[in-house]
Structure 1
Amino acid sequence: MLISEGLAEFTAKVEYGALPREVVRLAKERILDTLGAAVAGEADWELKEPFLNACRGMGTGDCAVLGSGKREFPAARAAMINATFAHAAELDDGHKNAGCHAGAVVVPAALTMGWALGASGAEILTAVVLGYEVVYRVVAGMTPHQIRKGFHPSGNCDTFGAMAAAGRLMGLSAGQIANGLGFAGLSAAGLMEATVSGQQSKCVQVGNAAYNGIAAALYAREGMAGTVTVFEGKSGFFQAQSQDVDTGAVCRGLGEQYHIGDTYSKLYPTCRHSQPAIEGVLDLMEEYGFGYREVEAVRVGTHQVAMDLTGRITLPESASEAKFSLAYGVALALSQGGVGIGHLGPKYRQDPVVRELAGRVHVEVDPEVQALYPARRGARVQVGLKDGRVFQKELYDLKGSPENPIGWKELEQKFTVNLKGSRFESSTRRLAEQIAGFETLERIDGLMGLLCQ
């Protein structure tokens, strides 16, 4: 059986009642976390208005998007917009070691299509679980070669998850879903160069995965034949974007083991690769009680991918660059005691204390940290004080990672912070309550009505 056929059969046939309760709980957490990230992105992203204007030139429809009650977009475009917002603030979740952000695409695709189709909460939760499962099973074997070859995992692999979620909600057969996965592979796109030049617009390629995935499901629904050898074919996805992929592992254990638990939650609005250093500095400050005025220098040893993505920018010139500056994140941790959305703005980027501290941060590749990548992604942080004392911490299992998880309470706190000051602040409790009882909703009109206003 081909990989597309195996994933399709599972996607078409698994029932909500067969999902482990722990998996359902995790899916609700993913919805809560992704919607909070999307609200923050919609409010914070500096290119929101030109992006929406561009989307208005791509067709009209009867779907509203996050932050607007006007029904003006087709469903696939609305999902793409919501997914773009979900990735814009760099607060969305990710796979523990594959550099892929499934939630930013799978959740908006499932919610937008579920709302348009009148699906129940249980049906949408099932679609979310399946979307994550397909993405993670595809991406897990491609790391680290996919990134090394220049492909952005989220922009590419999330397309399969959006297709699976949409196809399930549309009631496609296994054969149609296999064709849809083939179409998804043909339209998957996204380059790591977006993290080097064009950080402000990087989220668009992630949002585009939602559009392409839903489009693939629509093609398949109409009986169009996709490329069912899309994964293992000699010119297929795995060969083009990776190497030495264990193709047998992709479908192994389907229905016996769910991989949504391999998700980490971000606590800071920065690239995940900078966060071990940020959290390491915060931990050292708490443990040893020193302040930023005492710091002489900070050395961060990390792996090559983290160096390439976050070690090149010391003094960011925009909020988008700030999210990809490890030195700036460490400077904020030292001087502000944390990193939040508000710290990415010009007030802090131009602060002489923050800039001076960022200049004291030296980032380099540590051979021992590199040797553990990609199975473990972390950093060794060394803080030297002016009195000669030196403190060091090596950190891999960040708060919010599968190995150091946070629960609903902490995620709800993050959700509350993300909504604070936004047009949704007064609806925070109602939104969280509806997501907590998501499986009981006959339709999600109430939830989406609160978000699209």
Structure 2
Amino acid sequence: MRQTQDTILEQFAAFFCQMKFEDLPQPVVQKTKMLTLDLLGVTIAGLKMEFPRITKDYLTSLKGIEEATLFGHEGKVPAIHAALANGISAHALDMDDGYRYGGVHAGVAVIPAALAYAESKQLSGKELILAIAMGYEIINRIAKAMNPSHLNRGFHTTGTLGVLGAAAACGVLAGLNKEQMTSALGISALQGAGLLEILHDGSMVKPLHPGKAAMAGILSVEMAKRGAKGPVTALEGPKGLFNAMADEVKLDGLFDNLGVEFYIMDQYIKLHAACRHIHASIDGLLSIMTDNELQFSDIADVSVTTYPVATSFCGSTVLPDTAEGAKFSIAYSTAMAAFYGDVSEDRYAPSIVDHPEIQALALNIRATTNDRWTASYPRERGATILVNSKVGQSFSVDVPLAKGEPENPASDADFIAKFKQNSTQYSDAITTKVLDVTLALDQHSVEDLTKALSKLAP
């Protein structure tokens, strides 16, 4: 017999079904627009990577109803194909937004799914904004409850929980009732997947995780609309996601201030095209070089002291053999930052991975952990950077939080500058149109945005 108390998914479903755009505080609307702009930019730039090209070539070869825009393609494709391809492109640079308390990238699953689904249903920008904010809400709250245990088990939270956010967003767009929404969330939970072995081998295909999550979100909603019933205890049931994928789940506070405190406000953006766990190291090294007028040729060696998750994700490879692998190397990405003065999206190319001077410094960068940074994680994702110069000088700095976190925020101007940097391969007229529509998304239809995006095709 079913329990009378609502399950976790039923409680989220009830909340999603009663929320309206007018219930969103203006700062939430603004943050949602800026995060949408950010993801559009990294998706555009991600098209240059090999795996998105492989995906696009395959999906555009298939037949299907023309519903939604696939970035970099002139025609439209089925919405589930657009969500898959755009989700893959958005994560290809590892430059998409994230939430440090959950170890998760919500936007890369939610926004591609919501954008494709809203386009297929010819909805408004206000409806899209509400849907995106709701998708972030369920992903970040559940990721915070499950981590770090979930990550430590080897699961990629963006893939395993991204499905819930994609389904929530598309369920809001579809106008599902509580029962349908609960089923959609339950169906999506069955499809959550993502193994972190790709950090050690096969990193090219890591973006498959959020792409599949976005696609599964749309699929789950369409199945629920047609009467499919998902398990309402898909999370906390004896064989549910919690028991299967984590050793510890902290449910106290899961629904605290729901509808008042919106977790999308705690989202960070990346200003470097590398794994987030390296950003404090990069920020610290660049600040030392700037403050002390050091050149690349002045540096003898670098010591990075950080927290165990950072070294687990990014400390095993010093000389990567692929551009994707370089994004997960503290030593190589830090050496690259010292050489170029930045770690922008175009730095990760095969020629740079093989650069002899960067390789030489990378061999002299050591990453370790200490109790201070271990104890403060995830409240702080910090690092201490010590630079020794060739003339015997030493310089050190502590970076508790990289730029882009809510406590060390990126400004709207930073968001816009990043978008422009990520879209330099297109004309100013095209990118300005995308920028203008996104920044005023609540005054536009989704079609206005996707028409602008369609101009990005070759």
Query: What runs of 5+ residues in structure 1 fail to find an aligned partner?
Result: none
- Paired residue secondary structure (1:101): coil
State whether structure 2 residue 112 is matched by structure 1 residue 108: yes
Match of 2:95 among 73, 91, 94: 91
State whether structure 2 residue 447 is matched by structure 1 residue 437: no
User: Could you tell me how far 1:57 is from its partner in structure 2?
Assistant: 6.5
Contact 2:149 2:249 in 1 (8 A): no
Match of 1:328 among 312, 327, 332: 332
Deviations 1:251-281 (A, max 9, x none): 2321121110111100011111111111110
Residue in 2 aligned with 1:446?
448
Residue in 1 aligned with 2:3?
none
Deviations 1:214-254 (A, max 9, x none): 11111111111111011111221122212332324222321
User: Could you tell me how far 1:152 is from its partner in structure 2?
Assistant: 0.4
In 2, Cα distance between equivalents of 1:308 and 1:54: 34
In 1, Cα distance between equivalents of 2:52 and 2:261: 39
Match of 2:31 among 21, 26, 29: 26
Identify if the C-alpha distance between structure 1 residues 136 and 318 changes in structure 2 by more than 3 Å, giving closer, same or farther.
Answer: same
Deviations 1:180-217 (A, max 9, x none): 11111111111111121111110012110001111111
Contact 1:300 1:381 in 2 (8 A): yes
User: Could you tell me how far 1:398 is from its partner in structure 2?
Assistant: 1.2
Deviations 1:353-376 (A, max 9, x none): 211111111112223212222332
- Paired residue secondary structure (2:194): coil
- Paired residue secondary structure (2:367): strand
User: Could you tell me how far 1:426 is from its partner in structure 2?
Assistant: 3.5
Q: TM-score scaled by structure 1?
A: 0.96
Contact 2:430 2:452 in 1 (8 A): yes
Match of 1:11 among 12, 16, 19: 16
Contact 1:97 1:376 in 2 (8 A): no
Give 1:311's aligned amino acid: G
Give 2:235's aligned amino acid: F
In 1, Cα distance between equivalents of 2:32 and 2:241: 27
State whether structure 2 residue 431 is matched by structure 1 residue 428: yes
> Which stretch shifts more, 228-237 or 57-66?
57-66
- Paired residue secondary structure (1:383): strand
Residue in 1 aligned with 2:124?
120
Residue in 2 aligned with 1:79?
83
Contact 1:47 1:200 in 2 (8 A): yes
In 2, Cα distance between equivalents of 1:400 and 1:302: 18
User: Could you tell me how far 1:396 is from its partner in structure 2?
Assistant: 2.1
User: Could you tell me how far 1:56 is from its partner in structure 2?
Assistant: 4.8
Equivalent residue pairs, number: 449
- Paired residue secondary structure (2:342): coil
Give 2:49's aligned amino acid: W
Contact 1:83 1:206 in 2 (8 A): yes
Residue in 1 aligned with 2:410?
406
Q: TM-score scaled by structure 2?
A: 0.95
- Paired residue secondary structure (1:297): strand
Identify if the C-alpha distance between structure 1 residues 58 and 213 changes in structure 2 by more than 3 Å, giving closer, same or farther.
Answer: farther
Match of 1:397 among 388, 401, 408: 401
Contact 1:97 1:377 in 2 (8 A): no
Residue in 2 aligned with 1:221?
225
- Paired residue secondary structure (2:283): helix
- Paired residue secondary structure (2:145): coil
Identify if the C-alpha distance between structure 1 residues 367 and 248 changes in structure 2 by more than 3 Å, giving closer, same or farther.
Answer: closer
Give 2:443's aligned amino acid: T
In 2, Cα distance between equivalents of 1:285 and 1:139: 36
User: Could you tell me how far 1:128 is from its partner in structure 2?
Assistant: 0.7
- Paired residue secondary structure (1:252): coil
In 1, Cα distance between equivalents of 2:165 and 2:236: 18
In 1, Cα distance between equivalents of 2:101 and 2:340: 29
Deviations 1:22-71 (A, max 9, x none): 110110011010000100111x2112332223335766221330111212
User: Could you tell me how far 1:399 is from its partner in structure 2?
Assistant: 1.0
- Paired residue secondary structure (1:197): coil
Contact 1:424 1:451 in 2 (8 A): no
State whether structure 2 residue 251 is matched by structure 1 residue 247: yes
Alignment of 1:233-382 (within 5 A): 233-382=237-386
Q: Percent identity?
A: 32
In 2, Cα distance between equivalents of 1:426 and 1:200: 32
Match of 1:177 among 181, 193, 197: 181
In 2, Cα distance between equivalents of 1:396 and 1:355: 27
Deviations 1:350-406 (A, max 9, x none): 222211111111112223212222332121111111222211112122111111111
Give 1:9's aligned amino acid: A
